[in-house]
Amino acid sequence: MDGLASTDPLTQFHDWFEEAKRSEPNDPNAMALATATKDGMPSVRVVLLKGIDPRGFVFYTNLESRKGEELTGNPRASLCFHWKSLRRQIRIDGAIEVVSDAEADAYYASRPRDSRIGAWASIQSRPLENRDALKSRVAEFTEKFADADIPRPPFWSGFRVLPRRIEFWQDQPFRLHDRLVYTLGENGWTAGRLFP
């Protein structure tokens, strides 16, 4: 990253993401999502990026899951993409918004039928007695929607991370890594470098 690669971090993200799609063997859209409870207890898990637009980075989930409840109670999050094959990572911090019903409906309709059934069947993040209980719920909703469209559950939607800070990290020899950070202010994005 000699010089500033781009004045727009979303353009820089797209460039790196396209490279990752060509080099990563599995799920180049996998990202660690860090959330926190209202009192600040953090948790992190890997989710999949399902959309990016000028406003931010979109993923979908059960709103009643642990992450859904944490994001509702404390609407801020961090994302981290790590592309080992490229020796790169991108960190994104920002506020959260729920996507529109139209966006959630469109994405939900694009999912495989079994995934849509799974959204109804899984009481995500709640205790599960055994796998048979899950299989039973899958069978129940498969039968319920056997001859019908599968509507989006009212408890299932998406979140958009509205970035305020985006850092691009490139591995370099002797741990003298290259770190380029963009910060969003009143007049748009500013870019600078950080010591490794």
CB 137 within 8 A of CB 144: no
Provide the pLDDT for residue 195: 95
Residue 3 clears pLDDT 60, i.e. is over it: no
- Mean pLDDT on 4-22: 91
DSSP output for 121-189: H--TTS--S-HHHHHHHHHHHHHHTTTS--PPPTTEEEEEEEEEEEEEEE--GGG--EEEEEEEETTEE
Q: Which domains does the chain have, with CATH numbers?
A: 9-110+155-194 (2.30.110.10)
Helix (H, G, I), strand (E, B) or coil at 192: strand
| Average confidence score pLDDT of the chain | 95
For residue 175, indicate whether it is catalytic: yes
CA-closest candidate to residue 39, choices 67, 70, 80: 70
Provide the pLDDT for residue 15: 96
**Share of residues in the chain with pLDDT > 90 (%):** 94
Predicted confidence (pLDDT) per residue in 52-75, tens digit: 999 999 999 999 999 999 999 999
Taking only Cα atoms into account, the Rg of the chain, rounded to an integer number of angstroms, comes to 19
- Identify the active-site residue in 131, 175, 179, 193: 175
6 pLDDT tier (thresholds 50, 70, 90): confident
Predicted confidence (pLDDT) per residue in 104-160, tens digit: 999 999 999 999 999 999 999 999 999 999 999 999 999 999 988 999 999 999 999
5 pLDDT tier (thresholds 50, 70, 90): low
Residue 4 clears pLDDT 70, i.e. is over it: no
